Amino acid sequence: MEHSLKALQEKALKEIAGANDIDALETVEIQYMGRAAGELTAILKNLKDVPAAERPRTGALANEIKQDIEAQILERREALLAREENESVFDVTESYVPRRESGTLHPTTQIQYELEDFFAAMGFRIIDGPELESDFYNFSALNIAPDHPARDMQDTLYIKDHPTWLMRTQTSSVQVRAMREYGAPLQAIASGRCFRNEATDARHEHTFHQLEGFVVGEDVSFAHLKGILDAVARHLYGEDTQVRLRPKYYPFVEPGVNGEVTCSFCAGGGCALCKQTGWLEIFGAGLIHPHVLKEGGLDSKKVSGLAFGFGLTRLAMLKYGINDIRLFMSADMQFLKQF
Query: Nearest distance from residue 261's CB to Zn ion, in Å?
Result: 11
Rule CB under 5 A: say whether 176 interacts with Zn ion: no
- Count residues binding Zn ion (CB under 5 A): 5
Considering the complex, state which of residue 266 and residue 329 has its C-beta at the smaller distance from Zn ion: 266
Residue 268 CA neighbour count, 13 Å, CB half: 9
Considering the complex, state which of residue 61 and residue 271 has its C-beta at the smaller distance from Zn ion: 271
- Which uninterrupted H or E stretch holds 55? helix 55-89
Query: Nearest distance from residue 189's CB to Zn ion, in Å?
Result: 28
Which string of DSSP letters, residue by residue, matches 60-122?
HHHHHHHHHHHHHHHHHHHHHHHHHHHHHHS-TTS------------HHHHHHHHHHHHHHHT
Secondary structure of 200-244 in the HEC alphabet?
Answer: CECCECCEEEEEEEEEEECCCCHHHHHHHHHHHHHHHHCCCCCEE
Considering the complex, state which of residue 103 and residue 238 has its C-beta at the smaller distance from Zn ion: 238
Residue 2 CA neighbour count, 13 Å, CB half: 8
Query: Nearest distance from residue 281's CB to Zn ion, in Å?
Result: 12
- The count of other CB atoms within 10 Å of the CB of residue 333 is 10
Instruction: Pick the binder of Zn ion from 274, 288, 298, 318 (CB under 5 A).
Output: 274
Query: Nearest distance from residue 282's CB to Zn ion, in Å?
Result: 13
Considering the complex, state which of residue 44 and residue 271 has its C-beta at the smaller distance from Zn ion: 271
CA distances, 24 to each of 32, 40, 42, 72, 85 (Å): 13, 18, 21, 14, 17
Considering the complex, state which of residue 271 and residue 329 has its C-beta at the smaller distance from Zn ion: 271
x/- map, 13-32, Zn ion, by CB under 5 A: --------------------
Rule CB under 5 A: say whether 282 interacts with Zn ion: no
Residues 239-268 interacting with Zn ion (rule: CB under 5 A)? 263, 265-266
Query: Nearest distance from residue 277's CB to Zn ion, in Å?
Result: 8
Question: Is the separation of the CB atoms in 192 and 171 below 8 Å?
Answer: yes
Rule CB under 5 A: say whether 158 interacts with Zn ion: no
Rule CB under 5 A: say whether 50 interacts with Zn ion: no
Which string of DSSP letters, residue by residue, matches 285-298?
EEEEPHHHHHHTT-
Considering the complex, state which of residue 61 and residue 266 has its C-beta at the smaller distance from Zn ion: 266
Stretches 57-65, 138-146, 224-232, 270-278: which one binds Zn ion (CB under 5 A)?
270-278
CA distances, 218 to each of 3, 17, 186, 227, 257 (Å): 116, 96, 10, 17, 21
Rule CB under 5 A: say whether 271 interacts with Zn ion: yes
Considering the complex, state which of residue 188 and residue 274 has its C-beta at the smaller distance from Zn ion: 274
* Binding residues for Zn ion (CB under 5 A): 263, 265-266, 271, 274
